[in-house]
Chains A and B, each alone.
Chain A
Amino acid sequence: QKEVEQNSGPLSVPEGAIASLNCTYSDRGSQSFFWYRQYSGKSPELIMSIYSNGDKEDGRFTAQLNKASQYVSLLIRDSQPSDSATYLCAVNIRAGKSTFGDGTTLTVKP
């Protein structure tokens, strides 16, 4: 079992729709969770971080964390073509080391 698993994708949504990205992790000791966006040929860019159970909203992005279910998700509301990218879920088990999922490629169609 991989330490961090993401829905394999690719995921395609129409412009203006909600995109839902999911991630599960295996280590119950994981302390912090991140969503990064990576455009082709570029480095990962932080979108959201979440440390406590529940929802965290930032503009069109909402991260949800459920530690009991070992589940993290990212919702993108009013999806735009510029949101088309690969989204990486990262789990921080201890300081200085993050484990990444394989990523989900999202395409938003105009």
Chain B
Amino acid sequence: KAGVTQTPRYLIKTRGQQVTLSCSPISGHRSVSWYQQTPGQGLQFLFEYFSETQRNKGNFPGRFSGRQFSNSRSEMNVSTLELGDSALYLCASSLAGTAPETQYFGPGTRLLVL
């Protein structure tokens, strides 16, 4: 079974631009979570989607948004990029989105904001 895939793998943007990242979960997985990882803040939870609905949300500003499609693929969007948004963005999928359940991570998208 194919793992979690994320596209693109690398992105360079400038301040003020917006960006869209994509995540395809493991086949059959219905829950997709997004995380931001930076050297200073570690791995921080952004939000989670289950059955096309945002079910959990972290403490990030409204510039960070996401959605999930009927095939469970998910996108996250960051508008008005800031230098501090430079990070590794990871998505993770799980089967039914019920605890306890293991999340499997994709390879990540590395975003650099100049």
Interface residues of A (CB under 8 A from B): 31-32, 34, 36, 42-46, 49, 51, 88, 90, 92-103
**What separation, in Å, do the CA atoms of A98 and B35 have in the docked complex?**
10
Q: How far, in angstroms, from A103 to B104 measured CA to CA in the complex? A: 18
Flag whether B103 is at the interface (Cβ < 8 A): yes
The 5 closest A-B pairs by CB, nearest first: A32-B100, A96-B48, A100-B43, A97-B56, A95-B99
Contact of A96 among B43, B88, B97, B105 (CB under 8 A): B97
Classify the interface of chain B: helix, strand, loop or mixed. Answer: strand
Interface string of B44-62 (1 = CB under 8 A from A): 1100101000011010000
Chain B min CB distance to A94 (Å) = 6
From residue A68, how far is it (CB to closest CB) to chain B in Å? 18
A32-B99, A95-B101, A100-B44 known, 4 other contacts, Cβ within 8 Å: A43-B88, A49-B100, A96-B33, A96-B48
